[in-house]
Amino acid sequence: GQQLNQSPQSMFIQEGEDVSMNCTSSSIFNTWLWYKQDPGEGPVLLIALYKAGELTSNGRLTAQFGITRKDSFLNISASIPSDVGIYFCAGHVQGGSEKLVFGKGTKLTVNP
């Protein structure tokens, strides 16, 4: 269905390491978005993807819209302590309503 399967659920890494997380679904998506949520704040948009195969970077972050349109990944290179937070994938399902559906989040902890 429209559920997004986001993995991993949590990650514990050392500062300087690279991070990768992904989202998959059995549905086809028109967009994939990646958000980051810091404690006590709302999700903030990191990267928006609109075309299958699209690869977009935002500083140390890189995300791709899967060719099948059923998946997306987010990579963070050379992690730093301020990367700590919860990362959410989100997307609009093709043929669905206009609502944005969210994955369950990846909680990232970076040890200095």
**Site residues for another protein per CB under 8 A:** 30-31, 33, 35, 37, 40-45, 48, 50, 86, 88, 90, 92, 97-102, 104-105, 107
Strand partners, 49: 32
Looking at the Cβ atoms of 52 and 86, the one nearer to another protein is 86
Least Cα distance to 111 among 15, 2, 9, 42 occurs for 15
Looking at the Cβ atoms of 10 and 17, the one nearer to another protein is 10
**Phi-psi bin for 17: left (phi > 0), alpha (psi -120 to 50), beta?**
beta
Looking at the Cβ atoms of 58 and 78, the one nearer to another protein is 58
